């Protein structure tokens, strides 16, 4: 790690002097935005190696946050057949797995006011997730299992909101964007890891399999700041020098690296600093931001302030997140069924598809794989979508939904003589369309949150660092409910859509959906 450069007699945390001019504050914020990845990562010597280690630790931390936070959601969906009686519609699992998360994403950013207590919130999410999974594991009644799923869902929604908001505490913006990219990659990997984990442990039964998964949330506090979690609740450890545990770097570590770069470039020598009075104020329940705090004063965004921030984001960011992928996966994909390929005519397909029941897991595997790849796009260096193209993934998914619904109900390729070739072409087209669906869904998620994290502060409030911090946290947290609303809408629409498409198939003599 790069050793901090002393800008004042005390070498740890800094804040802007209360008497410093607002122009100095603005010039510092502008400077941090002008520091690029090349500046941060390509300095010579040990500084560059230290910066790369910081970036690696930050990326791994946020990847684990996304993976662990979402993997329980995937495990619950994968275990749906084993969690409820055969006579119970499986859609009730999807509903209980998303509705509480939607409540969390709407409630916390829009209702609660003031600064975010990251340490307490993340530890609370960890305990709620484990508690919910233990209820699912140790109770056999449908009501108790749905209650446990709902508790874990609420925790997952609140956790996703919190990690996205935590990314805004890092600077420069390239570092904040890096954390969002790796968090999105982790959420994509959760789809593959969750499905694989349940496939491996389902033979142990619900009690053992789900019970074992309840320990996974405790990876989150191990990846973050263990001493901060302990201090937040027990106040047993002296708080003068915060020590981080394992991976997650302090936000101020990047500021110190930037300060080293600034001093070497003689850019900000004129900006006055003074050390923080104590560290206890910050550690009393707060994860400090990456930017220095301004004069201590209470800031709380009002309802009118939040509406002012949300209004321009409705079309720009929220509509692009309201994609159609979950409607496709839950309402159409179960009806995309074809006869089992013959080894003589389709040697490759026959190795993958052994029964009609194999089609739906195949479509889900294709979708989860492409979502993971597309959500990892920014973290592997692919440039983000231009802001003007953010609606494109949702538009493409609408076209894919209509195309796959037509294929399910009518069929793109004619049946009759040569039907085997037509079915092979149909399977190929469905494979490509679901791959494109996953790419669009993952791209929409990672690019929307990346763009929000890169937005400049409002000129009207840029002089007030505390208000700017809260506005950034609120903005990135306020749009998450659009994604969850799409999932909830899909879970409500999926059952009647699946029934209607199956009836249409039966009316034209295709009876495969009746045999499942």
Cα 27-31-36 angle, rounded to 5 deg: 165
Q: Is residue 331 part of a domain?
A: yes
Whether 503 is covered by a domain: the verdict is: yes
DSSP 128-163: HHHHHHHHHHH--SHHHHHHHHHHHHHHHHHHHHHH
Closest CA to 436 of 363, 493, 360: 363
Q: What is the CATH number of the domain that holds 387?
A: 1.20.1250
Q: Does a structural domain hold residue 29?
A: no
Residue ranges for the chain with pLDDT beneath 70 = 1-50, 80-81, 86-91, 222-247, 252-297, 414-421, 462, 515-516
Q: Does residue 200 belong to any structural domain of this protein?
A: no
* Spatial distance between the Cα atoms of 108 and 161, rounded to a whole number of angstroms: 9
**303 is a domain residue:** yes
Question: What is the three-class DSSP state of 509?
Answer: coil
The domain tally of the chain equals: 1
Residue 513 lies inside a defined structural domain of this protein? yes
Instruction: Tell me what pLDDT residue 282 has.
Output: 37
Residue 158 counted as domain residue: no
Task: List, in order, residues 6 or more apart from 77 with CB less than 8 Å away.
Answer: 93, 94, 97, 194
DSSP 457: P
Full residue range of the structural domain in which residue 363 is found: 299-516
Asked if 444 and 393 touch (Cβ cutoff 8 Å), the reply is yes
Q: Is the distance from CB of 225 to CB of 248 less than 8 angstroms? A: yes
Q: What is the pLDDT of residue 417?
A: 52
Q: Please state the pTM of the whole predicted model.
A: 0.76
Of 297, 253, 342, residue with least CA distance to 51 = 253
Q: What is the pLDDT of residue 120?
A: 83
Reported as a single tens digit per residue, the pLDDT across 449-462 is 999 888 877 777 76
Cis before 412? omega within 30: no
- Best CA proximity match to 224, nearest among 163, 280, 311, 155: 163
Residue written as token pair 């609420």: 154
- 89 falls within a domain: no
CA distances (Å), 36 to each of 55, 76, 429, in order? 13, 41, 42
CA 249-7-49 angle, 5° bins: 40
Contact of 106 with 230, CB cutoff 8 Å: no
Per-residue model confidence (pLDDT) at position 516:
62
Give the residue ranges of DSSP H helices in 168-239.
Answer: 173-201, 206-213, 219-223, 226-234
| Dist CA 174 CA 182 (whole Å) | 12
């Amino acid at each position: 790690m790069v050793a901090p450069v002393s800008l004042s007699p005390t070498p740890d945390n800094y804040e802007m002097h209360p008497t410093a001019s607002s122009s100095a504050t603005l010039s510092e914020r502008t400077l941090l935005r002008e520091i690029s990845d090349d500046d941060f990562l390509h300095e010579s010597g040990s500084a560059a190696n230290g910066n790369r280690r910081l970036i690696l630790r930050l990326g791994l931390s946020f990847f684990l946050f996304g993976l662990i936070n979402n993997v329980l959601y995937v495990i619950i969906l994968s275990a749906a057949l084993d969690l409820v009686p055969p006579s119970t519609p499986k859609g009730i699992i999807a509903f209980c797995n998303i509705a509480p998360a939607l409540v969390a994403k709407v409630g916390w950013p829009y209702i609660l006011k003031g600064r975010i207590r990251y340490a307490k919130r993340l530890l609370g999410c960890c305990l709620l997730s484990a508690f919910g999974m233990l209820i699912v594991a140790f109770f056999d009644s449908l009501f108790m299992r749905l209650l446990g799923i709902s508790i874990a869902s609420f925790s997952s929604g609140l956790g996703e909101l919190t990690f996205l908001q935590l990314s805004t505490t890092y600077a420069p913006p390239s570092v904040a964007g890096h954390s969002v990219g790796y968090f999105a990659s982790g959420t994509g990997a959760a789809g593959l890891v969750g499905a694989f984990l349940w496939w491996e442990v389902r033979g142990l039964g619900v009690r053992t399999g789900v019970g074992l998964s309840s320990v996974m949330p405790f990876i989150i506090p191990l990846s973050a700041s263990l001493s901060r979690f302990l201090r937040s609740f027990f106040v047993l450890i002296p708080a003068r020098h915060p020590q981080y545990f394992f991976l997650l770097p302090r936000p101020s570590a990047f500021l110190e690296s930037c300060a080293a770069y600034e001093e070497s470039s003689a850019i900000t020598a004129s900006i006055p600093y003074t050390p923080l009075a104590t560290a206890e104020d910050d550690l009393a329940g707060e994860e400090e931001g990456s930017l220095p705090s301004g004069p201590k004063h209470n800031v709380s965004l009002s309802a009118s302030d939040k509406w002012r921030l949300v209004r321009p984001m409705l079309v720009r960011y929220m509509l692009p997140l309201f994609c159609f992928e979950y409607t496709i996966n839950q309402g159409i994909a179960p009806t995309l069924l074809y006869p089992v390929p013959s080894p003589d005519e389709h040697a490759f397909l026959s190795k993958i598809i052994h029964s009609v029941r194999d089609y739906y897991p195949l479509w889900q595997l294709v979708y989860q794989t492409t979502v993971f790849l597309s959500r990892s796009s920014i973290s592997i260096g692919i440039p983000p979508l231009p802001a003007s193209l953010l609606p494109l993934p949702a538009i493409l998914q609408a076209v894919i939904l209509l195309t796959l619904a037509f294929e399910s109900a009518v069929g793109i390729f004619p049946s009759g003589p040569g039907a085997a070739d037509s079915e092979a072409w149909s399977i190929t087209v469905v494979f490509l369309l679901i791959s494109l669906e996953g790419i669009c869904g993952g791209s929409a998620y990672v690019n929307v949150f990346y763009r929000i994290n890169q937005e400049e502060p409002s000129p009207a409030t840029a002089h007030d660092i505390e208000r700017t911090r809260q506005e950034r946290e609120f903005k990135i947290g306020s749009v998450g409910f659009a994604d969850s609303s799409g999932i909830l809408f899909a879970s409500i629409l999926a059952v009647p859509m699946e029934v209607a498409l199956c009836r249409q198939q039966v009316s034209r003599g295709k009876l495969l959906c009746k045999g499942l």
